[in-house]
Amino acid sequence: VPTYIMTQQVSGSPFFKPFFLKTPVSLLRQRRHTLPASEFRNLTPQDAISVFEIEREAFVSVSGECPLTLDEVLNFLGQCPELSLGWFEEGQLVAFIIGSGWGKERLSQEAMTQHVPDSPAVHIHVLSVHRHCRQQGKGSILLWRYLQYLRCIPGLRRALLICEEFLVPFYQKAGFKEKGPSAISISNMQFQEMEYTIGGQAYTRRNSGC
């Protein structure tokens, strides 16, 4: 029986707090030195290198551009760690989301580098899954947990992101709606803007055909 140690959001707090499933004392003794099998928690600047390694592999090889530079990762994890979420397996980061606050109706170029504190919207800059762990449902699960978690942050009403056309169905399955072409362009790439109403739609099940 694996020792599952997970984190769970505590009511009223914007941060994920460690949560331990009950495990027999004998098992805890045996496994005192093992790392948590699966853990979800907010990221910190100490996680920036692991984040950037996954990001670099995911994007640089494909488009030559990362959504966030290492400095921007450090910046956002320093300014708004509560808008990030990482999935760790045995201590290794396998997937993550980085967000920041945004106050306007639509995302504009400044949203790429700014965090607007206490705003009604979160801008999801990047969702990325380690290449060894893709197509296993992890991206969908992490996004679902993140959107559930956002419901508990007071004043937050919407989540916004931009993505390339081929990922529109992925985000639609998660409950996002298309807002149309984004004003943001990076290296001549075009994006769709997507919006999720926090506390609104239920997340449709993966491959459910909903």
Ligand X SMILES: CC(C)(COP(=O)(O)OP(=O)(O)OC[C@H]1O[C@@H](n2cnc3c(N)ncnc32)[C@H](O)[C@@H]1OP(=O)(O)O)[C@@H](O)C(=O)NCCC(=O)NCCS
What character string, x for contact with ligand X (CB under 6 A) and - otherwise, covers 8-27? --------------------
Q: Applying CB under 6 A, which of residues 138, 152, 168, 179 lies at the interface with ligand X?
A: 138
Query: Which pairing describes strands 16-20 and 39-41: parallel, antiparallel, or unpaired?
Result: unpaired
Is the Cβ–Cβ distance between 36 and 69 less than 8 Å? no
Q: Find the binder of ligand X among 135, 187, 188, 208 (CB under 6 A).
A: 135
Beta carbon nearer to ligand X, 11 or 135? 135
Which of 30, 69, 136, 201 lies at the binding interface for ligand X (CB under 6 A)? 136
Q: Tell me how many residues contact ligand X (CB under 6 A).
A: 19
Q: Which residue from 171, 118, 105 is spatially nearest to 143, judged by alpha carbons?
A: 171
| Binding to ligand X, residues 38-97 (CB under 6 A) | 58, 67
d(CA 2, CA 85): 23
Q: Which is nearer to ligand X, 22 or 180 (CB)?
A: 180
Cα separation of 15 and 143, whole Å?
Answer: 16
Closest by alpha carbon to 167, among 190, 192, 146?
192
Asked if 163 is part of the footprint of ligand X (rule: CB under 6 A), the reply reads yes
Least distance to ligand X from the beta carbon of 163, Å? 5
Cα distance between residue 134 and residue 94, in whole Å: 9
**Is 106 strand, coil or helix?**
coil
Q: How far is the CB of 210 from ligand X (least distance, A)?
A: 12
Smallest distance, ligand X to C-beta of residue 137, A: 5
By CB under 6 A, residue 127 contacts ligand X: yes
- Interface map 167-186 toward ligand X (x if CB under 6 A): x-xx----------------
3-state secondary structure (DSSP) of residue 101:
strand
Contact flag: residue 100 with ligand X (CB under 6 A):
no
Q: How far is the CB of 193 from ligand X (least distance, A)?
A: 13
Strand 177-181, strand 158-163: pairing: unpaired
Residue 167: C-alpha distances to residues 127, 139, 170, 176 (Å): 11, 12, 5, 11
Q: Which residues bind ligand X (CB under 6 A)?
A: 58, 67, 126-129, 134-140, 163, 166-167, 169-170, 207
